[in-house]
Structure formats: structure tokens, C-alpha cells
């Protein structure tokens, strides 16, 4: 499926227009495409989209010379991608380079305890988990840290949709086990 | 002896919330905790070299050294059958959805191989596939705005391979421990200790709904 060239085009357009909401939506959509296609590369788009959105929202980053330099780098990399398909190594290399640069930028400039790229992985993994996959699948696709993911999910109301037995039913079952 | 197969989630949650001593406490009540090599890798071998997580990993490492957690081998053939049937059971837009990972499938296979009494797992997909796959399918359909097609043959195979598996969460393990005196040393605060520990487990990733948390808050010991 992966029509990567259209993903790169969309990413470029959103970045040039400084559309951080659009980038976040792009991040959500590509994470779900990754789940539907079982394709880790689509998660890289999600990571880039989310990271760009979060970084450009910070005025102290967006106004920095480092960001200006990064913007040039990003647009150059995106221009390298003339045509991409599933088997293209260029796509993978470009995505890897962009993610790597975003990680460095976040470490150097950011005031975050948690690198924005790692946060992007957790966000993508949460979307994947909330759309039906297990934590193991979400982690496998995104590379998100398990503890960070579990902690993030624990602070949401995701579990409210997934009740099966009541607490009393579960406790009675456990008590029976220990009485045997 | 109550053989309990453990996924990574409850163990990490217990370690992170300073509740790891629930395991030796329940062991004295007859529980035996088993883990797969993949779980050992996830809870100890991977995080032990990451500063942020190393202490938690060391605590779990000690639990293995103290023989409170026993590492057992997995029948890879059974594991693959379980994983493949689960991951062929639901189709979205004509494509099978990968629902569970090899690690989760390994826990299910090891449960059956070792005649366990329960699988301690905090994540929801594996639990739903066993307890209520229709609810999982409905949820996925709602999330994607597209009907999930169930491959009955694959789902029936998964159900057959995992029949009789009893799912428990870290919250239920804590509750049974509390009922048997785990928090007695807290004196008049023992119920508060339990109630707040439930919140801590939820924050650590145990799949507990708001209603379930409220129901736990009503428990008296």
C-alpha cells in the first residue's frame, strides 16, 4: 500500500504552512496506517509529524537559528524524495535522517525531560493500542518505551471501554484459585 | 499450588509501585509465578542497562534469583499457532489485523504447557480476545468507523487453543494479598493503603476502568 511519496508531499506542505494541528493529525493517521498495514516505516512518518508539531509550537525553538538550520535540512531531505515506493531504501534513509536530527534538536534545544521523539513514539503507540492492538504490538511497531507507554495509558480513560467481568466476579475467581 | 503465568505488565507495575513484595507474600499462600524468557528479557535484561529503569530491573532480577519467578521454556509451535490464529481472526478492509505480539502468545502457550491456574496480564487485547472477542471487534469497528470482519475459523482455533485460560490483573493479585493480610502492618491505614495502591497500579498501566477503580475503593478488609 504505502504510497510514501504522497506522505512526504503532505508532510512538506504541512511543515511549510506551519500547520501544527495538521501535523498532529498526520501523526495520528500514519500511526493507524502502520497498524492496518503492519508497517513500521509508517510509524516514522507519525514520529516526524508529531515531533515537528511539538517543536514548532515552542517560540523559543521556532525563533532559534538552530531551527532555521534544521528547516533547511528538512526541506532538502524531503526534496531528495522524488519518488518513493515500498521497496525504496531512499525513503527509509530520509526518514531515519530526519528522525535522528529531530532527536538531536530536542536534546540540544528542548527543555523536556523526555525527548520529543520518544514522546512521539508513545503517542503513536497509544493510538495503536486504543485501536485494538496489544501493548506488545504497539511497542513492536513504534519502538516506544514500555514503561512510559504503560504510564501514559494509565493516565487515560482508555480502559473504560474494555470492561468484561465485574470486579466482584474477578475477585471471586481469584479467591477460588487460592482455595483449591 | 497456584501456578500463575506472568506477563511483563503486572511485574513492572508491582516493581514501579513498590509492591513487588506481593509476590513473596502470595508465594507463602501457595502461588508459584512463572515467566517466559521473553518476559525476563523485557523486565530485566533490556532495562538493566538504562539508568532510569535499572533499579526496577534489579529488583525484578532479585525476584528471579530468589526463585520467586521461575523462567520456563515455551513450545514455539504452540506459540506460533496461537499468535497466527489471533492475528488472522479480525479483518479490517480485507486485511488481517495484527492484534497480539509473540511475547503475549508465548505467555498463553506457556500457560497451557505448564497447566497454570491463571495468567497475570494487565493489557487489554489479550484479555479481551479470551474473555470477549466480540467486544474487541466492536471497539475496533467503532474506532476505525469500519466494520471488522471476523474470520470464524481463525477465531475458533484461537479460542480452542486458549480454552480455560483464566485472566487476572495486578489489581486482583493485590486484592487477594490484602484480603490475606498484606497491608496489616499499616494498622488502621490498611484499607487506605489498598485503595491508594489500586490508583498507583492504574497509573502504572493496569487496564482498570473508572468504574472498576471505584468498585475497588468500596472494598473493605
| Separation CA B117–CA B2 (nearest Å) | 6
ipTM: 0.93
- pLDDT tens profile A95-133: 999 999 999 988 887 676 678 999 999 999 999 999 999
B138 part of contact set with chain A, CB < 8 Å? no
Q: Which of A12-26, A68-82, A166-180 has the highest mean pLDDT?
A: A12-26
Mean pLDDT of A161-171: 89
A161 part of contact set with chain B, CB < 8 Å? yes
Using CB atoms and an 8 Å cut-off, which of residues 8-37 of chain A contact chain B? 32, 35-37
Cell of B186: 499499616
Burial A94-116 (b: 16+ CB within 10 A, else e): bbeebbebbbebbeebbeeeebb
Residue A5 has pLDDT above 90, yes or no: no
Strand partners, B167: B119
How many CB atoms sit inside 10 A of residue A40's CB?
13
A160 part of contact set with chain B, CB < 8 Å? yes
Listed residue (A156, A142, A149, A71) closest to A105, CA to CA: A71
CB A63 within 8 A of CB A18: no
Nearest CB among A157, A164, A171 relative to B175 is that of A171
CB A137 within 8 A of CB B103: no
B95 part of contact set with chain A, CB < 8 Å? yes
Strand partners, B71: B35
| Separation CA B121–CA A170 (nearest Å) | 13
When pLDDT is cut at 50, 70 and 90, the band that residue A92 belongs to is confident
Mean pLDDT of A41-53: 95
Mean pLDDT of B13-20: 93
Q: A137–B30: do the CB atoms touch at under 8 Å?
A: no
Q: B207–A166: do the CB atoms touch at under 8 Å?
A: no
pLDDT for A85: 59
Residue A1 has pLDDT above 80, yes or no: no
Q: B207–A151: do the CB atoms touch at under 8 Å?
A: no
pLDDT for A3: 60
When scoring A2, A127, A174 by the number of chain B Cβ atoms within 10 A, the one with the most, hence best to mutate, is A174
Domain chopping of chain A, boundaries: 4-179
Distance from CA of A125 to the nearest CA of B (A): 13
A137 part of contact set with chain B, CB < 8 Å? yes
Residue A71 has pLDDT above 90, yes or no: yes
B176 part of contact set with chain A, CB < 8 Å? yes
Residue B186 has pLDDT above 70, yes or no: yes
- Mean pLDDT over the full length of chain B: 95
pLDDT for A180: 62
- At residue B185, the 3 state secondary structure works out as helix
pLDDT for A84: 58
Nearest CA in chain B to A158: B209
Amino acid at each position: 500500500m504505502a504510497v510514501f511519496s504522497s506522505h512526504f508531499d503532505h508532510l512538506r506542505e504541512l511543515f511549510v504552512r506551519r500547520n501544527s494541528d495538521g501535523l498532529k493529525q498526520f501523526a495520528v493517521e500514519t500511526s493507524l496506517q502502520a497498524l492496518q498495514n503492519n508497517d513500521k516505516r509508517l510509524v516514522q512518518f507519525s514520529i516526524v509529524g508529531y515531533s515537528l508539531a511539538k517543536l514548532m509550537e515552542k517560540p523559543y525553538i521556532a525563533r532559534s537559528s538552530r531551527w532555521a538550520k534544521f528547516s533547511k535540512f528538512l526541506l532538502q531531505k524531503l526534496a531528495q524524495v522524488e519518488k518513493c515506493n515500498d521497496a525504496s531504501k531512499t525513503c527509509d534513509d530520509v526518514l531515519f535522517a530526519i528522525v535522528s536530527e529531530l532527536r538531536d534538536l530536542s536534546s540540544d534545544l528542548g527543555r523536556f525531560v523526555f525527548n520529543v521523539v520518544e514522546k512521539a513514539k508513545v503517542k503513536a503507540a497509544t493510538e495503536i493500542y486504543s485501536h485494538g492492538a496489544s501493548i506488545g504490538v504497539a511497542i513492536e511497531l513504534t519502538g516506544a518505551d514500555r514503561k512510559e507507554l504503560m504510564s501514559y495509558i494509565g493516565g487515560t480513560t482508555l480502559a473504560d471501554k474494555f470492561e468484561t467481568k465485574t470486579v466482584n466476579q474477578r475477585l471471586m475467581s481469584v479467591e477460588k484459585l487460592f482455595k483449591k | 499450588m497456584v501456578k500463575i503465568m506472568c506477563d511483563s505488565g503486572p511485574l513492572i507495575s508491582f516493581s514501579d509501585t513498590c509492591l513487588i513484595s506481593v509476590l513473596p507474600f502470595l508465594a507463602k499462600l501457595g502461588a508459584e509465578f512463572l515467566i517466559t524468557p521473553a518476559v525476563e528479557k523485557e523486565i530485566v535484561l533490556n532495562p538493566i542497562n538504562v539508568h532510569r529503569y535499572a533499579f526496577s530491573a534489579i529488583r525484578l532480577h532479585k525476584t528471579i534469583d530468589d526463585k520467586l519467578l521461575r523462567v520456563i521454556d515455551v513450545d514455539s509451535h504452540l506459540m506460533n499457532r496461537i499468535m497466527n490464529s489471533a492475528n488472522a481472526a479480525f479483518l479490517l478492509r480485507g486485511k488481517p489485523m495484527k492484534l497480539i505480539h509473540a511475547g503475549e502468545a508465548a505467555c498463553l502457550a506457556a500457560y497451557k504447557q505448564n497447566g497454570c491456574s491463571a495468567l497475570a496480564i494487565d493489557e487489554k487485547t489479550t484479555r479481551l480476545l479470551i474473555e470477549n472477542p466480540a467486544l474487541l471487534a466492536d471497539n475496533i469497528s467503532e474506532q476505525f468507523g469500519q466494520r471488522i470482519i471476523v474470520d470464524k475459523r481463525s477465531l475458533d482455533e484461537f479460542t480452542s487453543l486458549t480454552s480455560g485460560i483464566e485472566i487476572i490483573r495486578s489489581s486482583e493479585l493485590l486484592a487477594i494479598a490484602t484480603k490475606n493480610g498484606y497491608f496489616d502492618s499499616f494498622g488502621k491505614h490498611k484499607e487506605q493503603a489498598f485503595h491508594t495502591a489500586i490508583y498507583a497500579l492504574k497509573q502504572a498501566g493496569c487496564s482498570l476502568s473508572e468504574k472498576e477503580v471505584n468498585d475497588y475503593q468500596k472494598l473493605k478488609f
